[in-house]
């Protein structure tokens, strides 16, 4: 009793700790184990008890699981003969289970332990039909339970359930348009799960065809064709269906897919058909083994079946072995020698080595293509878009074991093109000649060329045209016809090893008659304007209506055509026609050709026949004109007749004249009105003249325009052109017209009593620049002017109407970069000319020149076509007659009037009486002058003449008078230019300008210089430009109120600046307006200073340096002041000058 109580307590303790007790029916009896065939959940723990018959066995028991001894720590001794083992966290066993054994000496007891999982709920129900008769629905079980699981399929209502056991599908009848409603329960020893309720409509049903039965794979008609054969299996489906079979072809050794495509078929459910498919490889099938498999899918439209279409399973694989698996010892190249291949395709050439040999190199022509390894004994070269081979073919070479050469010659070309422009005609109504163009060249010759055949589809007569292929580009073939009125249906077929092509035509013999050309065309007789010609027929055209076209062409190029209907005759029968209305004395060429009345084609032209018609009298009168000459002479002109007008060789001209009117005098005089007509300028139009004139007589018999070249030395050859009376304008053109040549044109009106001159014109078709310059000379020279003269340019050198002249002049300096070099002309590019618009001017006076100065003068003439070359002369003006004292006295008088006018009375000043002046300041009107140091200096400046020209001046008179510096006009031409002084930097060179050695006082005070120029009374102030100095005209005494003027800097260092004196003291600004860049003089100096006219203590003024003579160191035109004249407040002169 105590042992049983203890054992009960042990069991309770183990169960409370998570262990499951496996107890068999005979548990507790000796010689047994607690359970048989244990089914346990994975990762669970179980206790198994073994009951031995011998006491003390529990102390020495051994437990083994899956053949492995379990540790003793797993054992529990219940009694001396009862032992229990603990299986903790059991793992997944095999589906057969594992053995658990307890052993003591001779006693051994075992049980089977199998672990697994409870089932999951079935899911993803899918229903498939293969023949629309049965429906197979399958589901997914989820995780594998590892133990037997059974399934029960029930309808939603649960009234119909089907036990399917361990199967995961159920088969049912397919009922169209009926929904399927199922629920599935999975059950095993560890649990039970039920799926959701499944509902399947027709669109959910999957149609999967049966797996096709692949029968065989074999080589087709060529080495490139592989044929696949399989059983369609129509009887399995029971209904007519459309299936699509997908075929896959792979290279067996490399398992590389080389092609995959579809083949469609409509099933015949009444029988099992055997289907075939031919696949063309890009390499010969001998190159390597090819494996094939096939599967199917429904090709029905959704209208017939709205469900899901699925591919069948792949069939078994069948293989076509290549030569690389055979035991041959000799190598081979494929395609074999002589094979014809299509150009433009992608082809693969291969080489198969013999057993135990290796390929070293594989070449296709001279192409460096990559090699493809097909197997250990086979290599291939793939060529994309192969080009046609030459006539001798393309070479393929394989080198094996470095010494064996295998190869083949391959011919690559095109199949025949469709015969183009097929046409048939007959020349004799006995044979049809058919021609066509072969189209694209096949590049195949000899026995591989295209062979043509002519077929009569009506009678099924076939005529080979073997010779046709030898004529290119127009192929032809003849076909005999039984009569000349039949209709034939013909075909031309071309065939070569790559294919064939065929064209058709229907021919009505009467519509395709193409006669031969007329034969032996010849001249029979000539009668003035007519000629008879004859010809014969080259073949027998008896009874056939023909149309003959006669082409007549004269030696001038004009031609005529005449058509004649003739009836054909036997061979060499003559036909004669008369050609009328021919021109006399004309050389003709004639030829003829035939066509049928039902026009198809003209024949070729016959032989060419030349002949000359007889002469006749001229057919038109002469074009006559006259020229009235001095001394009662009339010159008669006429234009020769053309060949068509002369009608033969002109032997002589007969001239007659008669007096018109009752006057018995024979005097022929020029029209009195001619003398009163002026010469008008004709309008040139480049290659002729445009003339207009007015009608003088209501009734006129026309107009004559006469022209000739104006020559100075001889009479010209006149030309003329006549116009009808209704024309009053014309453009006169002639091949003899030349540009730059003067022509005289006259318009004459034809009246009853003769021709009268209406208008005389001279002109040029296009004017050019004069070819020569006028001859220039000096007529007269004074100290300040030069009178030039020139001669006319010869007429033939004018080349246009002289519009005027351009005069250029410039000083000639010593050591100057601006003087003309010896033998060179004056450069006028930078000079502005004096323009003389009077073409009749022959003299011109240049004024305002400086005495004792050398000038270069140039002259050009100009027309509308441009300027003539220039002609230069050099002239020196004589010295002035006035002494320096006279000149000085005149200058001092002018300076006094300008710089020191009478001081006005301040009490009478209108400015000071103005209430707006100095408002808020003491309004005292008395001006008290005080002694002060002068701070304003005014200097007289000459008006710019001669070379300071800013624009071209047109001169109407022959002379231009420029007043001299000492003339009275200077007093009327005054204006004040205001300058602000600048302080020049002190030179550090150590050199002192000699002009400053005589200065009386070194003290320099600020001052302002007003620079006064002399202007005419009519002068109007111009609007100041940006680079000009502001000009203010003053009258009387006025204080200067002018600010400094910033002048633009001059970048380049000039020769003038180098010659300017270096001044260390005060220098006012230069008068930039006095410079003219186009005057031909040297440019202004870079410095803005004109030199200091006086020191602050000086009371004297300096006259311009041109009064100092030629010894001055600075060049004329530079507005500077010589400081040696301002010494000790007095002015000195050289004794020689006085």
Report pLDDT digits (tens) over 541-557: 888 889 999 999 988 78
Q: For residue 677, what pLDDT band results from cuts at 50, 70 and 90?
A: low
Same domain, 484 and 433: yes
Same domain, 354 and 398: yes
- Taking only the tens place, the pLDDT of each residue in 1096-1132 is 444 444 444 444 444 444 444 433 343 333 333 333 3
Q: What is the pLDDT of residue 155?
A: 84
Which ranges constitute the DSSP H helices of 486-601?
none
Q: For residue 152, what pLDDT band results from cuts at 50, 70 and 90?
A: very high
Q: What is the pLDDT of residue 240?
A: 82
pTM for the complete prediction? 0.43
Same domain, 503 and 603: no
**Segment 61-87 mean pLDDT:** 92
Residue 449 lies in domain: 420-511
Q: What is the pLDDT of residue 956?
A: 39
Give the Cα separation of 722 and 639 in Å (integer): 12
Q: What is the pLDDT of residue 339?
A: 87
- Taking only the tens place, the pLDDT of each residue in 694-749 is 888 777 889 999 999 887 666 778 899 999 989 999 999 988 899 999 999 999 99
Give the Cα separation of 657 and 670 in Å (integer): 17
More confidently predicted of 279 and 1083: 279
Residue 936 domain-assigned (yes or no)? no
Same domain, 188 and 133: yes
Q: For residue 1043, what pLDDT band results from cuts at 50, 70 and 90?
A: very low
When mean pLDDT is compared across 174-183, 317-326, 877-886, 998-1007, the lowest value belongs to: 998-1007
Question: In Å, what is the CA distance from 961 to each residue of 1, 786, 945?
Answer: 172, 10, 10
Give the Cα separation of 651 and 666 in Å (integer): 30
When mean pLDDT is compared across 375-379, 760-764, 852-856, the lowest value belongs to: 375-379
- Give yes or no for residue 71 having a pLDDT over 80: yes
Phi, psi of 286 (to 5 degrees): -70, -15
Does 557 sit behind a cis peptide bond, omega within 30 degrees of 0 on the bond before it? Answer: no
When mean pLDDT is compared across 43-52, 102-111, 333-342, the lowest value belongs to: 333-342
Q: What is the pLDDT of residue 647?
A: 82
Q: What number of other Cβ atoms are within 10 A of residue 226's Cβ?
A: 22
Q: What is the pLDDT of residue 1035?
A: 37
Of 859, 876, 893, the position where a domain reaches its end is: 876
When mean pLDDT is compared across 16-25, 572-581, 779-788, the lowest value belongs to: 16-25
Question: In Å, what is the CA distance from 998 to each residue of 987, 995, 1122, 1130?
Answer: 18, 7, 12, 11
Beta strand ranges found along 828-952 (DSSP E): 834-836, 843-846, 854-863, 866-867, 871-876, 936-941
Give the Cα separation of 175 and 165 in Å (integer): 25
| 3-state secondary structure (DSSP) of residue 8 | helix
The segment with the largest mean pLDDT, out of 669-678, 884-893, 1040-1049, is: 884-893
When mean pLDDT is compared across 309-313, 520-524, 857-861, 1121-1125, the lowest value belongs to: 1121-1125
Do residues 216 and 318 lie in contact, with contact meaning Cβ atoms separated by under 8 Å? Answer: yes
Those residues whose C-beta lies under 8 Å from the C-beta of residue 624, and which sit 6 or more positions away, are 636, 637, 638
Residue 1071 domain-assigned (yes or no)? no
Q: What number of other Cβ atoms are within 10 A of residue 732's Cβ?
A: 20
- Taking only the tens place, the pLDDT of each residue in 181-217 is 899 999 999 999 999 999 988 888 899 999 999 999 9
Q: What is the pLDDT of residue 78?
A: 92
Q: What number of other Cβ atoms are within 10 A of residue 208's Cβ?
A: 19
Residue 535 domain-assigned (yes or no)? yes
Of 493, 511, 529, the position where a domain reaches its end is: 511
Those residues whose C-beta lies under 8 Å from the C-beta of residue 48, and which sit 6 or more positions away, are 22, 33, 34, 35, 38, 84, 85, 87, 100, 102, 111
User: What is the percentage of the chain residues whose pLDDT exceeds 90?
Assistant: 32
Same domain, 639 and 731: yes
Same domain, 534 and 474: no
Residue 143 domain-assigned (yes or no)? yes
245 beta partners? 263, 296
Cα 312–chain centre separation: 58
Q: What is the pLDDT of residue 1092?
A: 42
- Give yes or no for residue 60 having a pLDDT over 60: yes
Which ranges constitute the DSSP H helices of 696-752?
none
Rounded to 5 degrees, what angle do the CA atoms 483, 486, 492 make?
105
Q: What is the mean pLDDT of the chain?
A: 76
Q: What is the pLDDT of residue 147?
A: 92
Same domain, 724 and 783: no
- Give yes or no for residue 409 having a pLDDT over 60: yes
Same domain, 591 and 502: no
When mean pLDDT is compared across 22-31, 341-350, 603-612, the lowest value belongs to: 22-31
Q: What is the pLDDT of residue 460?
A: 78
Do residues 51 and 84 lie in contact, with contact meaning Cβ atoms separated by under 8 Å? Answer: no
Run of H or E including 884: helix 884-899
Whether the CA torsion 48, 52, 58, 64 is positive or negative: it is negative
- Give yes or no for residue 54 having a pLDDT over 50: yes
Residue 1091 domain-assigned (yes or no)? no
Residue 967 domain-assigned (yes or no)? no
**Segment 297-301 mean pLDDT:** 87
Same domain, 93 and 161: no
Q: How many folded domains does the chain comprise? A: 8
Question: In Å, what is the CA distance from 144 to each residue of 12, 138, 141, 213, 247?
Answer: 34, 16, 7, 33, 36
The segment with the largest mean pLDDT, out of 1-15, 560-574, 700-714, 1029-1043, is: 560-574
User: What is the percentage of the chain residues whose pLDDT exceeds 70?
Assistant: 71
Same domain, 697 and 603: no
Q: What is the pLDDT of residue 427?
A: 87
When mean pLDDT is compared across 8-17, 589-598, 904-913, the lowest value belongs to: 8-17
Residue 684 domain-assigned (yes or no)? yes
- Give yes or no for residue 779 having a pLDDT over 70: yes
Q: What is the pLDDT of residue 1078?
A: 40
- Give yes or no for residue 859 having a pLDDT over 60: yes
Of 806, 812, 749, 748, which is closest to residue 773 (Cα–Cα)? Answer: 806
- Give yes or no for residue 961 having a pLDDT over 70: no
Structure tokens at 570: 């036997």
Q: For residue 41, what pLDDT band results from cuts at 50, 70 and 90?
A: very high
Residue 270 domain-assigned (yes or no)? yes
Whether the CA torsion 48, 49, 52, 56 is positive or negative: it is positive
Of 709, 734, 763, the position where a domain reaches its end is: 763
Q: What is the pLDDT of residue 1119?
A: 39
| 3-state secondary structure (DSSP) of residue 38 | strand
CATH number of 437's domain: 2.60.40.10
Q: For residue 518, what pLDDT band results from cuts at 50, 70 and 90?
A: very high
- Taking only the tens place, the pLDDT of each residue in 104-140 is 988 999 999 999 999 999 999 999 998 888 899 999 9
Same domain, 97 and 156: no
Same domain, 224 and 257: yes
More confidently predicted of 304 and 293: 293
- Taking only the tens place, the pLDDT of each residue in 356-380 is 788 888 888 877 677 888 888 888 8
- Give yes or no for residue 825 having a pLDDT over 80: no
When mean pLDDT is compared across 204-208, 343-347, 860-864, the lowest value belongs to: 343-347
Question: In Å, what is the CA distance from 329 to each residue of 404, 871, 1014?
Answer: 12, 107, 126
Q: What is the pLDDT of residue 967?
A: 35
More confidently predicted of 385 and 100: 100
């Amino acid at each position: 009793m105590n042992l049983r109580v203890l054992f009960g307590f042990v069991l309770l303790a183990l169960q409370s700790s998570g262990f499951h007790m496996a107890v068999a029916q005979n548990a507790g009896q000796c010689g047994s184990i607690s359970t048989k065939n244990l089914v346990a959940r994975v990762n669970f723990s179980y206790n198994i008890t073994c009951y031995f018959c011998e006491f003390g066995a529990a102390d020495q028991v051994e437990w083994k699981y899956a053949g492995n001894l379990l540790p003793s720590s797993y054992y529990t001794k219940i009694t001396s003969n009862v032992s229990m083992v603990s299986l903790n966290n059991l793992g997944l066993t095999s589906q057969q289970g594992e053995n658990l054994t307890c052993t003591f000496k001779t006693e051994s007891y075992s049980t089977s332990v199998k672990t697994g999982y409870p089932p999951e709920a079935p899911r993803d129900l899918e229903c498939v039909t293969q023949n629309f008769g049965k429906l197979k629905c399958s589901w997914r079980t989820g995780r594998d339970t590892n133990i037997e699981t059974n399934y029960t399929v029930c309808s939603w209502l649960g009234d119909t359930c089907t036990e399917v056991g361990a199967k995961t599908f159920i088969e049912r009848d397919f009922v169209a348009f009926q929904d399927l409603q199922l629920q599935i329960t999975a059950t095993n020893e560890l649990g039970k799960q039920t799926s959701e309720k499944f509902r399947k409509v027709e669109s959910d049903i999957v149609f999967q065809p049966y797996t096709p039965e692949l029968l065989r794979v074999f080589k087709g008609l060529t080495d490139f064709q592989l044929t696949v054969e399989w059983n369609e299996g129509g009887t399995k489906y029971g209904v007519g269906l459309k299936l699509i079979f997908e075929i896959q072809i792979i290279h067996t050794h490399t398992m590389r897919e080389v092609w995959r495509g579809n083949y469609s078929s409509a099933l015949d459910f009444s029988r099992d058909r055997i289907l075939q498919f031919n696949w063309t490889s890009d390499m010969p099938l001998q190159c390597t083994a090819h494996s094939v498999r096939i599967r199917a899918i429904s090709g029905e439209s959704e209208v017939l079946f709205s469900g899901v279409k699925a591919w069948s399973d792949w069939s078994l694989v069948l293989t076509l072995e290549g030569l690389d698996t055979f035991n041959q010892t000799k190598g081979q190249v494929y395609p074999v020698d002589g094979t014809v291949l299509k150009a433009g395709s992608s082809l693969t050439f291969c080489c198969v080595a013999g057993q135990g040999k290796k390929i070293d190199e594989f070449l296709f022509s001279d192409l460096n293509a990559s090699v493809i390894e097909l197997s250990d004994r086979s290599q291939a070269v793939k060529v994309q878009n192969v080009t046609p081979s030459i006539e001798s073919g393309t070479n393929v070479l394989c080198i094996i074991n470095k010494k064996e050469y295998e190869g083949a010659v391959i011919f690559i070309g095109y199949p025949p093109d469709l015969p183009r422009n097929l046409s048939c005609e007959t020349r004799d109504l006995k044979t049809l000649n058919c021609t066509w163009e072969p189209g694209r060249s096949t590049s195949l010759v000899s026995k591989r060329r295209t062979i043509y055949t002519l077929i009569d589809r009506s009678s099924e007569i076939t005529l080979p045209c073997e010779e046709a292929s030898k004529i290119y580009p127009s192929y032809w073939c003849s076909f005999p016809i039984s009569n000349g009125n039949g209709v034939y249906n013909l075909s031309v077929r071309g065939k070569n090893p790559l294919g064939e092509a065929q064209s058709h035509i229907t021919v009505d013999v009467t519509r395709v008659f193409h006669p031969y050309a007329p034969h032996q065309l010849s001249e029979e007789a000539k009668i003035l304007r007519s000629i008879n010609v004859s010809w014969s027929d080259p073949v027998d055209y008896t009874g056939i209506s023909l149309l003959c076209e006669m082409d007549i062409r004269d030696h001038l190029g004009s031609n005529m055509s005449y058509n004649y209907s003739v009836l054909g005759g036997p061979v060499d029968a003559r036909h004669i026609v008369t050609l009328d209305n021919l021109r006399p004395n004309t050389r003709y060429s004639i030829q003829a050709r035939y066509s049928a009345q039902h026009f198809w084609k003209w024949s070729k032209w016959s032989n060419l026949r030349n002949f000359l018609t007889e002469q006749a009298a001229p057919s038109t009168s002469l074009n006559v004109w006259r020229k009235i000459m001095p001394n009662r002479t009339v010159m008669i002109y006429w234009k020769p007749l053309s060949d068509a007008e002369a009608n033969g060789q002109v032997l002589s001209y007969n001239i007659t004249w008669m007096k018109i009117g009752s006057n018995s005098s024979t005097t022929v005089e020029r029209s009195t009105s001619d003398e009163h007509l002026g010469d008008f300028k004709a309008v040139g139009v480049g290659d002729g003249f445009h003339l207009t004139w007015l009608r003088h007589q209501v009734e006129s018999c026309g107009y004559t325009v006469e022209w000739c070249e104006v020559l100075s030395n001889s009479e010209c050859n006149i030309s003329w052109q006549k116009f009808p009376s209704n024309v009053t304008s014309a453009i006169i053109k002639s091949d003899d017209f030349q540009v730059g040549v003067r022509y005289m044109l006259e318009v004459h009106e034809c009246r009853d009593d003769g021709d009268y001159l209406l208008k005389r014109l001279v002109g040029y078709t296009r004017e050019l620049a004069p070819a020569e310059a006028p001859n220039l000379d000096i007529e007269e020279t004074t100290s300040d002017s030069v009178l030039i003269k020139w001669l006319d340019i010869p007429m033939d050198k004018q080349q246009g109407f002289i519009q005027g002249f351009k005069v250029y002049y410039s000083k000639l300096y010593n050591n100057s970069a601006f003087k003309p070099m010896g033998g060179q002309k004056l450069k006028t590019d930078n000079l502005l000319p004096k323009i003389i618009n009077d073409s009749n001017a022959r003299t011109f006076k240049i004024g305002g020149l400086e005495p004792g100065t050398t000038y270069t003068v140039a002259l050009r003439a100009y027309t509308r076509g441009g300027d003539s070359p220039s002609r230069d002369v050099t002239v020196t003006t004589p010295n002035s007659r006035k002494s320096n004292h006279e000149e000085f006295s005149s200058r001092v008088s002018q300076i006094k009037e300008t710089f020191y006018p009478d001081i006005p009375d301040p009490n009478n000043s209108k400015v000071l009486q103005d209430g707006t002046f100095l408002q808020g300041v003491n309004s005292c009107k008395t001006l008290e002058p005080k002694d002060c140091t002068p701070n304003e200096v005014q200097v007289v400046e000459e008006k710019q003449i001669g070379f300071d020209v800013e624009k071209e001046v047109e001169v109407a008179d022959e002379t231009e008078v420029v007043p001299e510096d000492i003339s009275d006009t200077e007093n009327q031409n005054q204006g004040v230019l205001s300058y602000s002084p600048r302080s020049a930097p002190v030179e550090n060179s150590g050199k002192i300008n000699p002009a400053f050695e005589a200065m009386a006082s070194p003290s320099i005070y600020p001052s302002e210089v007003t620079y006064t120029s002399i202007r005419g009374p009519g002068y109007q102030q111009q609007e100041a430009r940006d680079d000009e100095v502001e000009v203010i005209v003053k009258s009387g005494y006025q204080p200067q109120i002018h600010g400094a003027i910033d002048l633009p800097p001059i970048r380049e260092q000039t020769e003038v600046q180098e010659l300017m004196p270096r001044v260390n003291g005060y220098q006012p600004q230069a008068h930039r307006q006095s410079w003219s860049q186009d005057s031909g003089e040297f440019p202004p100096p870079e410095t803005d200073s004109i030199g200091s006219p006086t020191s602050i203590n000086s009371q004297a003024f300096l006259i311009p340096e041109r009064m100092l003579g030629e010894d001055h160191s600075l060049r004329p035109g530079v507005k500077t002041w010589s400081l040696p004249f301002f010494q000790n407040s007095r002015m000195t002169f050289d004794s020689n000058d006085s």
